[in-house]
Amino acid sequence: MNILHKAKDYVENLFKDKLSSVYFYHNFIHTTYTVNKAEEIMRNTPVAKEDQEKVLLALWFHDTGYVECAQNHEEKGVEILTGFLKQENYPENYIGDVSQLILATKITYEPQNLLEKIVKDADCSHFASHDYNDISDALRKEWELTNVRCFSNDEWNAGNLEMLKNKHHYYTEYAKENWEPLKKKNIKKIEKKLEKEEDKKENSDHKKEAKDPKDSKSDRSVDTLFRVTLNNHTRLSDIADSKANILLSVNAIIISVCLSVLVPKLDTPKNAHLIIPSFVLLISSVLTIIFAILSTKPNVTKTHFTAQDIADRKVNLLFFGNFHQMLFNDFHDAMKDLIKDRDYIYDSMVKDLYFLGKVLDRKYKLLSITYKIFMAGIIISVLSFAYAFLSL
């Protein structure tokens, strides 16, 4: 396992064990996203292999300081990185280079070289994301829950507009050419939001005066909580499916090579010693494929219910496995009742979130078994081949 794989596993376990659940934005999903974006930049920018490794290590660790405290988290991240690399026997000058790249992610820091520019652009790559609104809402909710500050819609949108339009800019040529246009689209979306909010204020001031502002803030916080949590669960599901697809592809190649190259040669007496190792390799690959397919296999539960269950609001109308059995008119009337009752909406969303979590639990358990089978199969196969050759 190379240093980047070790870093990924280390950070993933660190966040899983020590990071508070209130960090909706600064978490492993964001960290993985920045690493992927840095790889995207470096695929299109000449960077030495050792320098690529430094950039990716810095991004794996750049937010690990949040496990201790949000304030000065970059310095805390440097301490965690230093301990990790010292255990891997890396020299001080190498550790210093990676540490400086972590410190370069500070929002006020101006990058001084290409590597720092790549790190800065990757860390702010979400400004050019199609999911920018959801990512932004995750940060907003995180700040509310960590008592940084609560924002009104106008304050949040105005702050985002100021950041994207006047304070932030991309540094690498690749980001300027490919991400800047997408960022400008997000700027226009924020401007439209502000215009709509302004129109609403002008047209419904009397309604807003009659409404308790505390209730409004509470509703907005709950809406953001559900949206961000469901979005994070969906991303975790995508990550699991992606990992399963990688294992499917790798083992399909292994089986194809074995069947076309290795197996036809086993019928000769001089290759008899390779029969057992070959079949161990094939069996482990087949088992890996079976469990990878099981982890990605759709598992739609179908619930039987009556019209009275719908009237008593015992049915989750947000799940297609339920409403696909209904006639359109019945579904239309039931949804009208759902929309009118906010508590009913929240109950339905809670059910949706819970059962999505159950699906994720099943996916990751099967995926964990799949990786163990694959790893054990590869190790046993290699040892079997080695024994077969040494025993000749």
* Chain segment 182-191, per-residue pLDDT in tens: 999 999 998 8
Q: What is the pLDDT of residues 46-97, one digit of tens each?
A: 999 999 999 999 999 999 999 988 888 999 999 999 999 999 899 999 999 9
CB within 8 A of 251, min separation 6: which ones?
Answer: 285, 286, 288, 289, 292, 374
Sign of CA dihedral 156, 161, 166, 171: positive
Q: DSSP state, 91?
A: -
Confidence of residue 9 (pLDDT cuts 50, 70, 90): very high
Domain boundary assignment for the chain: 3-210, 243-390
Counting residues of the chain whose pLDDT is more than 90, the rounded percentage is 32
% helix, strand, coil for the chain, step of 5: 80, 0, 20
Q: What is the pLDDT of residue 102?
A: 93
- Rounded to the nearest 5°, which phi and psi values hold at 201? -65, -45
Confidence of residue 43 (pLDDT cuts 50, 70, 90): very high
Kindly tell me if the per-residue pLDDT of 261 is higher than 80: no
Query: Mean pLDDT of all residues in the chain?
Result: 82
- What angle (nearest 5°) sits at the alpha carbon of residue 34, between those of residues 352 and 246? 65
Name which of 182, 196, 233, 257 is nearest 357 in CA terms.
Answer: 233
Residue 365 CA to its chain's centroid (Å): 18
CB within 8 A of 351, min separation 6: which ones?
Answer: 316, 318, 319
Ranking 141-150, 193-202, 282-291, 356-365 by mean pLDDT, the lowest is: 193-202
State the fold for domain 3-210: Hypothetical protein af1432 (1.10.3210)
Say what angle helices 28-43 and 3-18 make with each other, to 10 degrees.
160
Name which of 21, 103, 89, 2 is nearest 59 in CA terms.
Answer: 103
- b (16+ CB within 10 A) / e for 33-59: bbbebbebbbeebebeeebbbbbbbbb
Residue with more model confidence, 360 or 306 = 360
Amino acid at 222: V
Cα separation, 211 vs 228, whole angstroms: 26
Instruction: Tell me the two tokens of residue 336.
Output: 């009208």
Mean pLDDT of 372-384: 88
Q: What is the pLDDT of residues 193-250, one digit of tens each?
A: 888 877 777 665 555 454 555 555 556 777 777 777 777 777 777 787 888 888 888 8
Confidence of residue 36 (pLDDT cuts 50, 70, 90): very high
